């Protein structure tokens, strides 16, 4: 029996002829010619006598990328489909499950009006679920190792179980492991299933760090990764926040608005900075969580009011990052950080023009709510991107001296206030030239002042003295003592 042109897509099942469907076996008995994606499949050796088999394995051996191989296979199958007798093309498992060529051949055949028939096969999934004793519902994630191995972080919620197909060699296993390590610890328990549903089936229970050491990896290997645990995904966190705002949630959270949360957002941002200044990773982890809560609350409030939702926030920043980094995600070549910043400004201006926005000042995007030192440094940075800057540091120092002299010679308080502002602005520019963040530097100095003054207070109590009754010289001696203690050096007698 033949077809008058067209394609028959046939699934060979997971690995043995006994697992072929009755429909597939009857069709294989009726044809004289069969094209297979690979002959590295046990069923190929058990096909009915008289079937001439053509394999595309020669394309793999040319060393091309998988995408190039799959594209070449699709083109050849569609070409053969235009013959009067058409073509039967068979793949391991199910022709539309974890199979790159099958869905594209189906799409192409439909687009070109070619007759198309799909003879289903048992996929690798069912025998893998049996081997694991696993019901995939309701949340199992299915992934391809070839895709996962190209990512820097997993793009699925780690509180869901995941099954990863095509862990076909140690290299692919290593690449998958490195991606998973972004979320999962080395010791996370996982299971490798090899040749599921066949007499060669093997199951390995091991730790994540061991998967690329397995001697059994091959074309029929899959990796099962159990959930990392509760409260480990962004989705679960957003559900918690939505619950807080729900009718049966927290009365305080339900009352909040964008404006009522302003002070909390600012406070949490400053606490993040404090943790960074203290070089305290544990505190930083906690404070980043508090800041993330503020972001999620604002997104939830906006969603309730029909403004936008968290997905819109993520989509917007995703596209913006990709759009503004053509030197990373595109083909643009830039020279160093300065080249990146100059191109950044050009891209932002192009975006404003595309959105029909009026041309505005280069400095207009610097928020007025920023702390004064941060705002000053950002203003100077932006002006410098278009060349409004000293060519070297000597004039910067000269400007500081000039502004200091003008403070000293100011005729009245009003003029002195202005000149002090100019002096501070000049000092911020000096910090910028030395690649120092002025805000962070002053915050660190403030913290040192707190610690040293606390030392003076503590020592005064130990001495039975009242701080306000001590002389400046006595307090200054304790100040110097605090400075020496910071360096781990005993003060001189």
> Is residue 118 within a helix (H) or strand (E), and if so which, with residue range?
strand 116-119
* Range scoring the smallest mean pLDDT among 62-71, 109-118, 163-172, 219-228: 62-71
> Is residue 84 within a helix (H) or strand (E), and if so which, with residue range?
none
Q: How confident is the model at residue 2 (pLDDT cuts 50, 70, 90)?
A: very low
pLDDT at 376: 87
pLDDT at 331: 84
The stretch 155-175 carries a mean pLDDT of 94
Q: How confident is the model at residue 1 (pLDDT cuts 50, 70, 90)?
A: very low
pLDDT at 103: 96
Q: How confident is the model at residue 446 (pLDDT cuts 50, 70, 90)?
A: confident
The stretch 173-183 carries a mean pLDDT of 97
Average pLDDT, the chain: 90
* Range scoring the smallest mean pLDDT among 236-250, 407-421, 479-493: 479-493
State yes or no: pLDDT of 3 exceeds 80: no
- Residue with structure tokens 């869905």? 103
Q: How confident is the model at residue 303 (pLDDT cuts 50, 70, 90)?
A: very high
pLDDT at 492: 47
pLDDT at 343: 79
Are 379 and 366 contacting, i.e. CB atoms less than 8 angstroms apart? Answer: yes
State yes or no: pLDDT of 201 exceeds 80: yes
**Sign of dihedral through CA atoms 420, 421, 423, 428?**
positive
Phi, psi of 204 (to 5 degrees): -120, 120
**Sign of dihedral through CA atoms 254, 259, 264, 268?**
positive
pLDDT at 490: 47
* pTM (whole model) above 0.85: no
Q: Report how far residue 451's alpha carbon sits from residue 324's, in angstroms, rounded to the nearest whole number.
A: 42
Q: How confident is the model at residue 301 (pLDDT cuts 50, 70, 90)?
A: very high
Of all residues in the chain, what percent carry a pLDDT higher than 70? 96
**pLDDT single digits (tens) 31-71:** 999 999 999 888 998 999 889 999 999 998 887 888 899 99
* Range scoring the smallest mean pLDDT among 74-83, 179-188, 438-447: 438-447
Q: Report how far residue 7's alpha carbon sits from residue 77's, in angstroms, rounded to the nearest whole number.
A: 8
Length of the chain: 493
Dihedral of CA atoms 281, 287, 289, 293 in degrees, nearest 10, equals -170
- 382 by DSSP, 3-state: which? helix
Are 41 and 117 contacting, i.e. CB atoms less than 8 angstroms apart? Answer: no
How would you label 37-63 residue by residue, b for 16+ Cβ within 10 Å and e otherwise? bbeebbbbeebeeeeeeebbeebeeee
pLDDT at 129: 96
Are 366 and 345 contacting, i.e. CB atoms less than 8 angstroms apart? Answer: no
**pLDDT single digits (tens) 108-161:** 999 999 999 999 999 999 999 999 999 999 899 999 998 999 999 999 999 999
Give the CA count within 13 Å in the CB-facing half-sphere of 289: 10
> Is residue 205 within a helix (H) or strand (E), and if so which, with residue range?
strand 202-207
Give the residue ranges of DSSP H helices in 201-261: 234-245, 251-255
pLDDT at 450: 87
Are 124 and 220 contacting, i.e. CB atoms less than 8 angstroms apart? Answer: yes
The stretch 402-424 carries a mean pLDDT of 91
If phi > 0 it is left, if psi is from -120 to 50 it is alpha, else beta; for residue 294 that is alpha
Q: Which residue has the higher pLDDT, 331 or 305?
A: 305
If phi > 0 it is left, if psi is from -120 to 50 it is alpha, else beta; for residue 119 that is beta
pLDDT at 356: 65
**pLDDT single digits (tens) 323-381:** 888 888 888 888 888 787 777 777 777 776 677 666 667 787 787 777 888 888 888 88
Q: Tokens in use for 362?
A: 């280069």
Q: Report how far residue 386's alpha carbon sits from residue 358's, in angstroms, rounded to the nearest whole number.
A: 19
Q: Report how far residue 399's alpha carbon sits from residue 422's, in angstroms, rounded to the nearest whole number.
A: 10
If phi > 0 it is left, if psi is from -120 to 50 it is alpha, else beta; for residue 279 that is left
The stretch 223-233 carries a mean pLDDT of 95
Beta partners for 119?
Answer: 10
Nearest to 95 by CA among 117, 79, 78, 75: 117
pLDDT at 132: 96
Q: Report how far residue 323's alpha carbon sits from residue 94's, in angstroms, rounded to the nearest whole number.
A: 38
């Amino acid at each position: 029996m033949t077809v008058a042109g067209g394609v028959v897509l046939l699934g060979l099942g997971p690995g043995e002829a006994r697992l072929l469907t009755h429909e597939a076996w009857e069709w294989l008995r009726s044809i004289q010619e069969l094209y297979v994606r690979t002959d590295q499949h046990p069923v190929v050796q058990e096909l009915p006598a008289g079937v001439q088999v053509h394999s595309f394995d020669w394309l793999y051996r040319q060393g091309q990328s998988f995408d190039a191989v799959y594209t070449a296979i699709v083109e050849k199958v569609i070409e053969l489909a235009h013959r009067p007798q058409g073509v039967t093309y068979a793949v391991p498992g199910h022709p539309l499950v974890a199979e790159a060529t099958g869905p594209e051949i189906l799409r192409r055949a439909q687009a070109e009006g070619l007759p198309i028939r799909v003879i289903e096969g048992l996929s690798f999934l069912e025998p893998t679920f049996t081997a694991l004793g696993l019901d995939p519902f309701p949340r199992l994630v299915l992934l391809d190792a070839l895709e996962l191995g190209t990512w820097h972080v997993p793009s699925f919620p780690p509180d869901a179980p995941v099954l990863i197909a095509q862990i076909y060699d140690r290299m692919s296993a290593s690449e998958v492991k490195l991606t998973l390590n972004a979320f999962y610890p080395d010791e996370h328990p996982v299971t490798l299933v090899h040749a599921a549903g066949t007499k060669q089936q093997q199951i390995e229970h091991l730790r994540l760090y061991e998967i690329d050491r397995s001697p059994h990896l091959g074309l029929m290997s899959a990796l099962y990764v159990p959930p990392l645990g509760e409260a480990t995904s962004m989705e679960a966190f957003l559900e918690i926040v939505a619950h807080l705002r729900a009718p049966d949630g927290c009365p305080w959270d339900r009352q909040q608005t964008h404006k009522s949360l302003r002070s909390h957002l600012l406070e949490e941002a400053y606490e993040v900075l404090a943790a960074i200044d203290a070089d305290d990773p544990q505190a930083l982890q906690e404070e980043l969580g508090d800041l993330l809560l503020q972001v999620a609350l604002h997104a939830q409030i906006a969603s309730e009011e029909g403004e936008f939702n968290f997905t819109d926030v993520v989509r917007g920043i995703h596209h913006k990052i990709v759009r503004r980094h053509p030197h990373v995600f595109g083909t643009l070549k830039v020279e160093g950080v300065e080249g990146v910043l100059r191109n950044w400004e050009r891209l932002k201006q192009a975006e404003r023009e595309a959105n029909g926005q009026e041309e505005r000042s280069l400095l207009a995007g610097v928020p007025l709510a920023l702390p004064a030192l941060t705002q000053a440094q950002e203003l100077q940075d932006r002006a410098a991107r278009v060349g409004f800057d000293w060519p070297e540091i000597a004039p910067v120092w000269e400007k500081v001296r000039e502004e200091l002299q003008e403070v000293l010679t100011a005729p009245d308080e009003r003029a002195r206030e202005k000149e002090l502002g100019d002096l501070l602005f000049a000092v911020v520019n000096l910090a910028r030239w030395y690649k120092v963040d002025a805000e962070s530097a002053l915050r660190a100095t403030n913290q040192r002042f707190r610690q040293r003054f606390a030392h003076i207070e503590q020592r005064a109590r130990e001495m039975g003295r009242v701080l306000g009754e001590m002389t400046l010289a006595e307090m200054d001696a304790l100040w110097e003592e605090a400075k020496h203690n910071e360096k781990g050096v005993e003060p001189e007698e």
